Amino acid sequence: NAGVTQTPKFQVLKTGQSMTLQCAQDMNHEYMSWYRQDPGMGLRLIHYSVGAGITDQGEVPNGYNVSRSTTEDFPLRLLSAAPSQTSVYFCASSYSMSSYNSPLHFGNGTRLTVT
Amino acid sequence: SQQGEEDPQALSIQEGENATMNCSYKTSINNLQWYRQNSGRGLVHLILIRSNEREKHSGRLRVTLDTSKKSSSLLITASRAADTASYFCATDPRSGGSNYKLTFGKGTLLTVNP
C-alpha cells in the first residue's frame, strides 16, 4: 500500500517555466489537497478537491491550477514559475471530509526551487 | 492566515524527560488535531480531540483542550530520541469538523537528546 505518492522529490525551475507536480493516492480517498510549507509560515492550503471533477481554492491559490479527473490523481500546475513559489509542496488526502474518522495522510513532499 | 499558533517554537530536552507544547487558536472549533513531521517527510496524524472533550490519551501522548482559553497542549511522556520532530496543531474553524480547510500552526521543533 503506497499511500500518497508525490513526484518529483526535487525540482529546480527557471522563472517563467511551467511544470506539474504529481500526486497520486491508492487508498480510494475522496478528499485531496495541496499545501505549501515555507520557513516561519507553517503550512498553507493552496487548492483542495472533495471528489473527481470538483476543486476549490484554499488560502494561497494564485499562480497554481489543479484538476481532478480521477479519484486517484490530483496534479498541481505552475503555469509560470516565480521565485516566490520556491517552497516545499505537500499533497494530502483523507477518506472523507470529516476529520473525526479520517485524518489527513500526507505525501513526503516536493522541494521546488525557482531561480 | 494562521488559526493555530504553537509555543514554544523550539524545545530541547533529554531522553526520558517529558515534553509539553502548546497551541492557541483564534476562533471557535469543532475539534483540534495534532500532527508530527519528521525531517524531510510529510506530516503524520497523532491525535484528535473534540471540542466537548477536555483530555485525551494515546500511548505516551496526552492532549488537553481548554475551549474557554482557546488553547490545547500536547504532552509526550518519557521522550525518546525518535520523538525528535516538528509538531503541529491543526483546526478547521468551520462547523462540522471537516478537513476542508484545515489550518496548521507554524509548529514546535522538538529535539530529544540521547
CB distance B12 to B108 below 8 Å = no
Report the CATH number at residue B36.
2.60.40.10
Who's near A93: CB < 8 A, 6+ residues apart?
A4, A25, A27, A29, A31, A32, A33, A74, A104, A105
- Please write the tens of the pLDDT for every residue from B43-92: 999 999 998 999 999 999 999 999 999 999 999 999 999 999 999 999 87
Question: Residue B103 pLDDT more than 90?
Answer: no
Helices H, strands E: what count in chain B? 0, 11
Question: Residue A97 pLDDT more than 90?
Answer: no
Number of domains in chain B: 1
- Please write the tens of the pLDDT for every residue from A32-82: 999 999 987 789 999 999 999 999 999 999 999 999 999 999 999 999 999
Specify the pLDDT at position B3.
Answer: 67
Specify the pLDDT at position B96.
Answer: 61
In whole angstroms, give the CA distance from residue B23 to residue B14: 22
For chain A, what is the radius of gyration of the CA atoms? 13
In whole angstroms, give the CA distance from residue A90 to residue A76: 10
Question: Residue A89 pLDDT more than 80?
Answer: yes
- The whole-number average pLDDT for the span B19-28 is 93
Chain B residues interacting with chain A (CB cutoff of 8 angstroms):
1-2, 31, 33, 35, 40-45, 48, 50, 88, 92, 96-107
Quick check: B99 and A100 CB within 8 A? no
Residue numbers of the domain that contains B15: 5-113
- The whole-number average pLDDT for the span A94-102 is 80
- For the record, the C-alpha cell of A67 comes out as 484538476
Question: Residue B5 pLDDT more than 70?
Answer: yes
Quick check: B106 and A41 CB within 8 A? yes
Specify the pLDDT at position A43.
Answer: 93
- For the record, the C-alpha cell of B85 comes out as 520532530
- For the record, the C-alpha cell of B38 comes out as 519528521
Let me know how long chain B is.
114
Question: Residue B2 pLDDT more than 60?
Answer: no
